[in-house]
């Protein structure tokens, strides 16, 4: 056991994992902030609290699923497939919620 890689028996995430997590959650926050800013400056976007709650739940679900894929799927090909499938399902749900595609 390397002391720099473990603290109290728990593995310390690598710099790459930390940067990935920061990028993931920053992207989710940015996607949620965009309509919030737009509702302030234009009447074309009219989201209420329920819309923001639904978007936050969807983005949190996508983010958590991607984090689980990154942490628990060890093959890079399977990990990429799981992340792409998660994003595709999230986009389908978003499109259906936005305009009722299905």
pTM of the prediction?
Answer: 0.78
List per-block mean pLDDT (blocks of 10 residues) for the chain, which spans 102 residues. 55 78 92 93 91 95 93 91 96 89 72
Beta bridge partners of 6: 11
Burial (0-12, 13-18, 19+ Cβ within 10 Å), 61: middle
Is-contact 44 97, C-beta < 8 A?
Answer: no
What count of other Cβ atoms lies within 10 Å of the Cβ of residue 59?
19
């Amino acid at each position: 056991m390397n002391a720099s890689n473990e603290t109290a028996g728990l593995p310390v995430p690598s710099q790459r994992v930390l940067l990935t997590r920061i990028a993931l959650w920053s992207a989710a926050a940015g996607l949620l902030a965009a309509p919030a800013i737009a509702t302030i400056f234009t009447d074309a976007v009219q989201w209420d609290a329920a819309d923001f709650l639904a978007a936050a739940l969807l983005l949190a679900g996508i983010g958590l699923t991607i984090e689980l894929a990154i942490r628990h799927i060890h093959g890079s090909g399977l990990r990429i497939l799981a992340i792409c499938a998660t994003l595709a399902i999230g986009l389908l749900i978003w499109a259906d919620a936005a305009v009722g595609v299905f």
